[in-house]
Structure 1
Amino acid sequence: MATAVEKPNFVFPDKFHKPLFAAQISLRVLAFVACLAASSITLANNQTATAFGVVAHARYNYSPSFEFFAYANLVVCVFTILSLVLAVNMAKRVAVDPALYFYMFVHDLMMTVVLMAACAAVTAVGYIGKYGNSHAGWMPICAYLEKFCQRATAASVLAYFGFLFYLILALVSAHRSRHITL
């Protein structure tokens, strides 16, 4: 007895197919640029200062939070390139496998969560560096390491933009995959 092989249900593009993928590709490029800049600034960030006769060195790798932040942004950059290739490929197709829309949603959601964790970690450490914590006896250091703190702030702002771009991508991808019937 031979059984019929089911063909996958391909989704044929509607009138919003090209503009949707143009927006997705633009947002992915913006997220890539923001995360690459945030990572580059963090990896190159260091300063030496003298306060009260004590020499203080500040580098990104002296804090696990800054290391996580830099490497998380690099990981997002690599996966953004992979998703750009997939998005361009999907935009060129006449019919798209519905599973690809779901995979794009999962990817965008994962990158959003990674960026959210990295931004939260660096924001917490940055707050301690800027204001200290009198209850724990931690003194603020940004008055002495101003250049380091300004660059860390710039990197975190760029990463927050990357997070925002990926949040929008996740919402668009979720909306697009919701309309797919399997």
Structure 2
Amino acid sequence: MAKLHRLISAVLRLAAAGAAAAAAVIMVTSHETTSLFGIEMEAKYSYTPSFVFFVVAFAVTFAYSLLAAVLVRPGTTASRLVLLSDVTVGMLLTGAVAATGAISQVGKSGNEHAGWLPICAQVQAYCGHVMGALIAGFVSLLLYFLIIMYSLHAVAEPLCSCH
């Protein structure tokens, strides 16, 4: 049973690492230059702090997921500490996806009250990349939710005499 727990945990963590790496790479490669009323406009992820936060959060998640997949065995004392780290990473990912989603919505729809115009009509490829990064990021976030639930089950199972 311990080998099955280790296998499931490793597969979930490697899948989360893959999705996190994809999210970071897609976001980093999002850039486009266009001309608007004779003025050249460049859109890059690095111009938006929430997008930079997104890249850093998912790069950290990628590295952490690989380390946790290789080094931690479910059911050990260390796995309880990793569970706390998993929750922290889950919160980090939630913040990154939320911040990026909010800024993406402003880029797509603008904000009439603040006088911000939508830009996605002018830089469609850029907005498409950002959307792809958000989708990959959300997949990674969902996988981390599964990791947390599975880790909770693995930690609580020896404590419960319910079975």
Give TM-score, length-normalised by structure 1.
0.83
Q: Which runs of 4+ in 1 moved over 3 A?
A: none
CA RMSD of aligned residues (A): 1.4
Counterpart residue identity of residue 143, structure 1: A
Q: Deviation string for 1:69-102 (max 9, x for gaps)?
A: 0111001111111101123xx27xxxx53x2231
Amino acid corresponding to residue 84 of structure 1 in structure 2? A
2:109 aligned to which of 126, 131, 135: 131
- The answer to whether the aligner puts 1:41 opposite 2:26 as a matched pair is yes
Unaligned runs of 5+ in 2: none
Matches of 1:104 and 1:172, distance apart in 2: 12
Q: Does 1:86 align with 2:60?
A: no
Q: Which runs of 5+ in 1 are unaligned?
A: 1-14
The code of the aligned residue for 2:84 comes to: V
TM-score, normalising length: structure 2: 0.92
The residue aligned with 2:9 is: 24
Give the structure 2 partner of residue 12 of structure 1.
none
Residue type matched to 2:68 in 1? S
SS at the partner of 1:108?
helix
Q: What whole-Å deviation, never above 9, does each CA across 1:8-31 have from its counterpart, x for those lacking one?
A: xxxxxxx3x222221111111111
Contact map agreement 2:10 2:70 (CA 8 A) in 1? no
Q: Is 1:174 aligned with 2:159?
A: no
Q: Which of these two proteins has the greater Rg computed from alpha carbons? A: 1
Indicate which of 79, 89, 105 corresponds to 1:101.
79
Q: CA deviation at 1:41?
A: 1.2
Counting aligned pairs with the same residue, the percent is 30
